[in-house]
Amino acid sequence: MKRNTFRVVITGASSGIGAATAIAFARQGAHLVLGARGREGLEDIARQCREAGAVAHVGTVDVTDASAVADFANEARRALGGIDLWFSDVGIGVVGKYTDVPLADHHRVIEANLVSHMNDAHAVLPIFQSQGHGIWVNMISLGGFITSPYAAAYAASKFGLRGFSAALRGELYDHPDIHVCDVYPTFVDTPGIHHAGNYTGARLSYPPGALAPEKVADAIVRLARRPKPSTVLGMPSLLMRLAEFANPVTAVLMDRFMERWSKRAEPVKDTTGTMYEPASGASGIRSGTRKPERAGNTALLVGVAAAAVALGVGLSRRRG
């Protein structure tokens, strides 16, 4: 990435990982177009980018609207003179037993997490093809490999994103300078925990080991220099893939954990969070509920995955 010349578009840029990534690119001298539903959050992050010395434009866009995304992409190309990297970071969640959550909320999660990324790719890939180069960064998550009881629509969207990226890489095989890069972090300490829909009756919180958004942002900036198909953060890549093999056991363990947690956590009323309306005001980068990440905090996640793998292998041997 050459300083002062790299042109970056980020959707979901008003908070969390998207915001942290915008600021990280700004510090590299990139030219930015930032998109999200909420104008106040966007302006807050754009201001921080400009203070870091970057050129930053903003555009409000609902990425579930394909025509709005196409317009946003064309405006971004005009503003920047081209697009070198597009980061699709929009994501929401709703937590609760599948049948306790209204079906409309499940549909909204699929629209935001899967369909919106498809809309982004449909808008930017023709731009990349006309330029002859470009990097599309697809934010997925640990949920793209390991199923998430109490978050069935989220799991469906993340598994879907994995398949979508794989299909695009196949189609783009003859375009070696156009890259599709997936990013798979474990839990990340963002305001998303305050934005999620919640039908558990219990206050949501992050588990030990939640990553700093800035760590994810730095990994995305590295992709601008050296694109690669998959980036795993917060857990060894091999262990995550082995945990996928043990998914039936992992899902049962997670379901039992969620049941116990929901009975012990602080009770709260059901909410749709920000699924249908953007957050009011600026949300910032972190949730404000956790201390900065420390070495070794991923031990819980690694331990659960390792236990699931061991159980899965044992069950497989018994069946054999």
Catalytic residue IDs: 154
Most distant CA atoms of the chain, gap in Å? 62
Is 214:285 a contact under the CB 8 Å cutoff? yes
The answer to whether the CB of 157 falls within 8 A of the CB of 94 is no
CA separation for the pair 81, 170 (Å, rounded): 28
Q: What angle do CA 259, 260, 266 make, to 5 degrees?
A: 100
Instruction: Give me the helix-helix angle, 237-245 and 299-319, nearest 10°.
Output: 40
**CA contacts within 13 A on the Cβ side of 313:** 7
Phi/psi for 278 (5° steps) reads: -70, 160
Q: How far apart are CA 255 and CA 133, in angstroms?
A: 43
Question: From residue 39, how far is each of 46, 108, 166, 193, 215 by CA, in Å?
Answer: 10, 21, 33, 20, 25
How many whole angstroms separate alpha carbon 117 and alpha carbon 140?
10
Cα 108 to Cα 12, 14, 156: the distances in Å are: 16, 19, 12
Question: What are the backbone angles phi and psi of residue 294, rounded to the nearest 5°?
Answer: -120, 155
The number of helix segments (H) and strand segments (E) in the chain equals 11, 9
| Beta carbons within 8 Å of 168's beta carbon, 6+ residues apart | 121, 125, 136, 180
Two structure tokens written together for 103:
């079906």
